[in-house]
Amino acid sequence: MHLSVDSVSKSFGEGKARKLVLENVSFTISSGEFVALVGSSGSGKSTMMRLVAGLDRPSAGTITVDGVPVKGPGSDRGMVFQKYSLYPWLTAAQNVAFGMSLQGLPRREVQERTSYFLEVVGLSDAARRLPRELSGGMQQRVAIARALAAEPKVLLLDEPFGALDLQIRESMQEFLHGLWQRTGLTALLITHDLEEALLLAQRVHILAPRPGRIVRSVAADLPHGELAHLRVTPEFLALREELAACLRGLDGGLGL
Amino acid sequence: MRESTFWPRLLAHPWILGIAGILIVLLLWTGVTATGLVDRLFLPSPAAVLAAGQAQASAGILGRDLVASVTRVFTGFALSAAVALPLGIAMGTNRAICQLLEPLMGLIRYMPAPAFIPLLIIYFGLEELPKVMLIFIGTVFFNTLMIMDAVKFVPHELVETALTLGGKRAQLLTRVITPCIAPQVLDTYRINMASAWNLVIVAELVAANEGLGKRISLAQRFLRTDEIFVGLIVIGVIGLLIDLGFRLLMRRACSWAN
Ligand SMILES: Nc1ncnc2c1ncn2[C@@H]1O[C@H](COP(=O)(O)OP(=O)(O)O)[C@@H](O)[C@H]1O
Ligand SMILES: [Mg+2]
């Protein structure tokens, strides 16, 4: 699998109200890779994600999956939103089964794969619970399981832990990292949390705001074994400090 | 110490105070009529109203009136609900349809439905059809616009998630939008059902052979205030039962939304 974003720009509105949100953004993701896009709020991260998901069209440039241009949303690009990620009227298991049943998979297979993916995210016991009976972290795990169960080529995560408390966020980062190591999934993570990006991703792109554009791309060649360790290694701290200064510079340049 | 637990315990059973409120009014009513201060013709005693009700029931009048009114309300409202659901969803999901119909409906909605009665009588005569149509006209625009609003408040993330899971357009309607708005649709129906009851009575006051409204207007002609009270109380009780029915259905079918 090869996802390629090539010189993509996006603007909203017409004439005088026209607003350039993304300018000439390019990056790629290959099978098994975990890529993160980091930027402050309003820098166009969600817009970028929606373009990749096919929920919006670029104003210029192309997005291709294995050479085929993205023309709309499809099950090859699974998405997890920050808010309203689950169907509140369906149980955890029914949520996980949702994509498979939309696609018309046989019942047996849906059941088997639902319990498999609930187990992958460690929520077999919560199968019959409604979303409102689950904690925020559990809800996002169900949402990830639902996306994975539809067998996407790439998983798109738009600030999936942004609404969670710091402590839960850290355990969710461990969870996602472990999931990536176990299953070899391919993921594009969008976050305003630089540390989260450096912990999880192999490649990190820094997005500058107004208009959104990539100003730095770094390979996070860090020993990703244990996240708790990684957080305090000198290499990690140095890289985080360097990129944090870069991000501050972007905001400072605007007099914020 | 005792007082501090009394109120919370009492308030934990909402029906206790509710029934107390009704009983207090009944007691006051009995008291006032027993003193003889108010002319019986204006305010009959609860016992007299009960007797009038029993007389009507045993003569079979009450049953026939009830069936007539309930049938009109249910036919007219079922028609209205059946039209409003697809129309409201269409307006909530399609901008062109919404822009085409919303101003029109907003306009008609403010025309008082009873003002249509003369037209309906000219068009459809004096039988059942004009009454059913009045209930339909009087509720369909409110039902439609409220359902449209419910559709507009469906979080777009829920729709877009279905698309990224490989859902087709038609599946969005049946698998996402319809279940998502179900609680609001039931609530819309529950609220607008009250207007349907208002309208059936108005229609029967104008022209009918039987029905609870007809009975009230006949009672007025013969100064039978006790029978007017019977009609009012029966209408109130049926309305309350329908309301409770909708609430029960909502709790059963949409427990996720509570
Ligand atoms: N549909 C839209 N119409 C107009 N402006 C939009 C639209 N979507 C996003 N924007 C604008 O694009 C900018 C970036 O938004 P977004 O991609 O949500 O940023 P982020 O996710 O990084 O916080 C914001 O200024 C927002 O107002
Ligand atoms: Mg965003």
Residue spans of the domains in chain A: they are 23-76+154-256, 86-151
Q: Which member of A79, A83, A102 has the closest CB to residue B167?
A: A102
Of all protein residues, whose CA lies closest to atom 3 belonging to ligand 1? Answer: A12
ipTM: 0.90
pLDDT digits 0-9 by tens, A10-62: 999 998 999 999 999 999 999 999 999 999 999 999 999 999 999 999 999 99
Q: Is residue A12 within 6 Å of ligand 1 at its C-beta?
A: yes
CA–CA separation, A85 and B240 (whole Å): 38
Is the pLDDT assigned to residue A253 strictly greater than 70? no
A23-76+154-256 CATH fold:
Rossmann fold (3.40.50)
Give the nearest chain B residue to A156 (CA atoms): B164
Is the pLDDT assigned to residue A155 strictly greater than 80? yes
Query: What pLDDT sits at residue B1?
Result: 54
Q: How far is the CA of A68 from the centre of ligand 2 (A)?
A: 26
Q: Report CB contact under 8 Å: B165, A53.
A: no
CA–CA separation, A141 and A121 (whole Å): 6
Per-residue pLDDT of chain B (258 residues; tens, 9 = 90+): 555 788 888 888 888 898 999 999 999 999 999 998 888 889 999 999 999 999 999 999 999 999 999 999 999 999 999 999 999 999 999 999 999 999 999 999 899 999 999 999 999 998 999 999 999 999 999 999 999 999 999 999 999 999 999 999 899 999 999 999 999 999 999 999 999 999 999 999 888 889 999 999 999 999 999 999 999 999 999 999 999 999 999 999 888 987
Query: What pLDDT sits at residue A256?
Result: 42
Domain B47-257 classification at class level: mainly alpha
By the CB < 8 Å criterion, does B165 face chain A? Answer: yes
Residue spans of the domains in chain B: they are 47-257
CA–CA separation, A217 and A204 (whole Å): 6
pLDDT digits 0-9 by tens, B229-254: 999 999 999 999 999 999 999 999 88
Q: Which member of A81, A89, A132 has the closest CB to residue B161?
A: A81
CA–CA separation, B17 and B97 (whole Å): 48
Give the nearest chain A residue to B258 (CA atoms): A132
- Indicate the SS3 state at residue B257: helix
Mean pLDDT computed over A155-184: 91
Q: Which ligand is nearest to the Cα of residue A47, counting in written order?
A: 1
By the CB < 8 Å criterion, does B158 face chain A? Answer: yes
pTM for the whole thing? 0.88
pLDDT digits 0-9 by tens, A220-238: 877 777 888 888 899 899 9
